[in-house]
Amino acid sequence: MILYWHACALNSGFDVNSKSKFGILAPSLAILAVLGGCAKEPAPLPVPTPPKVVFDTLITSQPDGLRCNVAGTHGQTQTVTTPRLVSMSELGGPVKIRCFAENFWTEQVAVSAGSRKPLLVRATEGEKITPANAAVRGPDVGPGGEFPRQVTVTLHRNAFKSATERDSYYAKQIRRLAKDWVRLMALAKSECESSVISQKGRSAVSLPTVCREGLQRLEARKRAEMQVVEQQRRRSKRAYPLDTHTPHI
């Protein structure tokens, strides 16, 4: 034990030839040597692993309280009542949300795993963007971050007491939808003006092409959605028994 301590002391520069000091300190230092060995630099503490935060998507609806089937590519289907937080990353994108209610047209919204990309890039890549699924989240900060924060599914009524009531209702729905598309198109155009579209992997001359093609696809989606609403208006029933359980929007 003394020899072991002697070697440690030599390595540390301790004057082992000093009998007085050595005689007094040897027993204590020998014990320390056995307990802790030669003094070394303490090992650095491991860097803590940040907690994994899963970002869910809030599914809301107009009207509230709808029953919706939510299905992804992983083979799972959840039946939820809005509003409801859903982990779309666990379901696997694209996620299809299908909502239904009595005296309303059934509506389905597809949500792709690409909400961090610019709108125009998403459009050119084939995503069917609408005001319902266009919301962006920003930088990915965890699983689920590639899906939007919120998706709102809007159902339109299909039963009315008169044609006048039907036409008045759908006129309001068309105006609301038109305003939503105005905001969406303005956001898409601002992406080109502010150059938020990354040119990585693209030539400088191709950027205007991406903008032009993306805007054309969004305009086509807008016309298609407007046509669907008009078809729903024409096919709606003109009379139905009063039902106090039918939600109104």
pLDDT for 188-233, tens place per residue? 888 887 765 655 454 444 667 888 899 999 999 999 999 999 999 9
pLDDT band at residue 138 using 50, 70 and 90 as cut-offs: low
Lowest average pLDDT, out of 21-35, 44-58, 144-158, 171-185, goes to 21-35
Of the CA atoms within 13 Å of residue 17, those in its CB half-sphere come to 1
Distances (CA, A) of 109 to 72, 92, 152: 12, 15, 9
The mean of the pLDDT values for the chain is 77
Percent of the chain with pLDDT over 70: 65
Instruction: State yes or no: pLDDT of 239 exceeds 70.
Output: no
Look at residue 157 and give its three-state secondary structure. strand
- Three-class DSSP category at 77: strand
Residues 6+ apart with CB under 8 A from 53: 141, 142, 143
Distance CA 107, CA 196 (A): 32
Please report which confidence band the pLDDT of residue 134 belongs to, taking 50, 70 and 90 as the band edges. confident
Q: What share of the chain is helix, strand, coil (3-state, %, to 5)?
A: 40, 15, 45
Crossing angle (nearest 10°) for helices 163-193 and 207-235: 170
Between these two residues, 231 and 116, which has the higher pLDDT value? 231
Q: Which one has a higher pLDDT value, 151 or 207?
A: 151
Is pLDDT of 142 > 80?
no
Number of H helices, E strands in the chain: 6, 7
Determine contact, residues 80/59, Cβ cutoff 8 Å.
yes
